Amino acid sequence: MDARIVNPSWVLVGGLISIFPAHAGEALTQAPAVMLANVFEDADVDVSGYWVSEKLDGIRAYWDGWALWSRHGNRINAPVWFTNPLPHVALDGELWAGRNRFEFASSTILDAEPSDTAWREIRFMVFDLPERTKPFSQRLEALRSMHEVLPSFVEIVQQHPFVSRELLLDELNRVVTAGGEGLMLHGGDSFYRGDRSDDLLKMKPARDAEARVVDYTAGKGKYAGQVGALVVETRDGLRFSVGSGLSDNDRLDPPKIGTWVTYRYQTLTANGIPRFARLVRKTTPAPL
């Protein structure tokens, strides 16, 4: 039987009623805690226990049945034509405008006054039903059965099992070559919980590059009086900050101005700035 929304808190799936958290006919006052991913490490992980999907470069969004929330608990001001057709059950996903369009998606979604024209280019890519009493494989089955009752701008993210690491790496290469960011691995036996664990893993190709230290930014909070980040410059004259990966010693005694360092990053912004740049090491001698 096709999925049918039969009341704000119930979904009929395959002839069985599945109960999702009800919200007493109104939106929550803050977003529930969402599942967060650890980084996939090259360790002895049995990949056959995971469902795999493309990692989408958008804005994480949690639909509580009545309102959209960011992962940090901020209300997302989507147009009413976008939210009104959504079912009164919780959905976890990504608001996405397509590959390599993160800046457009971010500016559109975080705008306090939503633009109808811009929002027409946003899709709600749903990858989970936050039902806390069922493992992910069953939640995925229930989600897929809802396909026909979801509006056209909502897409159920395609997820597939992989039996070996070699096939998984082939899939990562295919997605990245096509312009994607990486992969997400979701444990089939995992239950929905609001913390970070290996039940959800992100897999992205890391890239290393070199740049020269040209300045520092001051630390704040617990790093007050220390270096907050290195300001570095590439051979092409591109300047940006590297704050992640600095040890306590690096913050007290940072690499000297003029020192070359190796940093690791995942992707580039539309302006060519390395995203999530992280210090790896000092590079001696200077790279050729």
Active site residues: 55
Which CA distances in Å does 194 have to 52, 113, 197?
20, 30, 9
Q: Do residues 210 and 219 make contact, with C-beta atoms less than 8 angstroms apart? A: no
151-154 contacts, C-beta under 8 A, 24 or more apart: 151/85, 151/86, 153/82, 153/122, 153/123, 153/124, 154/86, 154/91, 154/123, 154/124, 154/126
Decide: 214 and 163 in contact? Cβ < 8 Å: no
Three-class SS of residue 161? strand
- Going through 120-252 in order, the beta strands assigned E by DSSP cover 123-128, 154-156, 160-161, 183-187, 196-203, 207-218, 227-233, 239-242
Spell out the residues 6+ positions from residue 245 whose beta carbon is closer than 8 angstroms to its own: 263, 264, 278, 279, 280
